[in-house]
Amino acid sequence: MFHPFWGTGILVSVILVVGGAGYIGSHMLSLLRDQEYPHMVFDNLEKGHRGALQGSKLITGDLRSAEDLEQVFRDHPEIDAVMHFAAYTYVGESVTEPAKYWENNTTGVLTILDTMRKFGIKNFVFSSTCATFGNPQYLPLDENHPQNPINPYGQTKLAVERILADYDVAYGLKSVILRYFNAAGADPEGRIGEDHRPEAHLIPLAIYAAQGKTPPLKVFGNDYDTPDGTCVRDYIHVLDLASAHLLAIDHLRAGGDSRAYNLGNGQGFSVKEVIDVVSEVTGQPVPFVLADRRPGDPPRLVGTSEKIRNDWGWSPAYADLRTIVGHAWNWHRTHPDGYMD
């Protein structure tokens, strides 16, 4: 574990977690607290929740504001690394409102990077996505797969990846890019969980349907070339994502080079399998209705994380689907109204 002091222990080094009040960011905070990594949060609370912070220090501000960011770095010279979790992530919305996504997901990151340059901060961990690959040409998806995103969300993320490569060469700003597959699950102890508004992820939507809180779940197509006809996706536990970020910070702080990794479970689960496991875990049937296929949905989307496994020894600690669903259910069962803020 990275020791939180430089030299004789006079100056504490701190991680700035941008977007730390959101789903993945808040689980990152949980791991940072558990591992005693000094950190603080920068978030405008547009999508995040104060209740998800669980005691981590919040600085309210907007990543699109250079003034807000400069104030943070000016007030906190101990910040030596930045983690980014502040993207908009709704694929459909990115198609109908691309300007919103380019401004936040790309221009916002440029603002962060240029402010980091101004204050001499060289370590950046970026949350990217498997959506940068577009429709798979082969499976499982590895880091060498061509990147050809098919929606503005994926395009905004790929643009940042290319910016980071240029900033490394020109300015020596080092980064680790982590491309997520389907983030899922929750803190095993039920302290924090997934509370998107609106919710778009399959597992919480299936749980809501089982609870009778929403209409029957929509299953988009059951005639794909998969074992049961429904789409197959790679679900990765949110704390496994967080653990990879910690390895990335340690790597950069040790003077490591810029890198990019895929983060997936390495196995796929179909929509029908998820429904069956949610029914088993909750003890309630998941009502669902069949709907037409969604344009652009590939039958299978599964990644391999062999590169990060070989380089850093990372592997998912919570790879079993029943465990992932069980942790999610524990959160939703004990927090029926989500965060109360």
Query: What residues form DSSP beta bridges with 16?
Result: 40, 82
Count of CB atoms situated within 10 Å of the CB of 327: 24
**Catalytic pick among 37, 88, 101, 153:** 153
Q: Which two tokens stand for residue 328?
A: 């999610």
200-218 burial, b at 16+ Cβ within 10 Å, e below that, comes to ebbbbbbbbbbeeeeeebe
Q: How far apart are CA 332 and CA 24, in angstroms?
A: 16
Backbone angles phi and psi of 338, in degrees to 5: 70, -155
Known catalytic residue at 261:
no
- Nearest Cα neighbor of 301 from 91, 22, 26 is 91
Q: Is the peptide bond before 198 cis (omega within 30 degrees of 0)?
A: yes
- Can you list the positions of beta strands (E) in the chain? 5-6, 11-12, 14-18, 39-43, 58-60, 79-84, 123-129, 174-180, 182-184, 217-220, 232-233, 235-237, 259-263, 269-270, 288-291, 300-301
Which one-letter amino acid corresponds to residue 233?
A: R
**CA atoms 76, 82, 83, 86: torsion sign:** positive
Q: How far apart are CA 184 and CA 320, in angstroms?
A: 11
Q: Which two tokens stand for residue 198?
A: 């609106």
C-beta of residue 13 within 8 angstroms of C-beta of residue 81: yes
Q: How far apart are CA 200 and CA 197, in angstroms?
A: 8
Catalytic (active-site) positions? 153
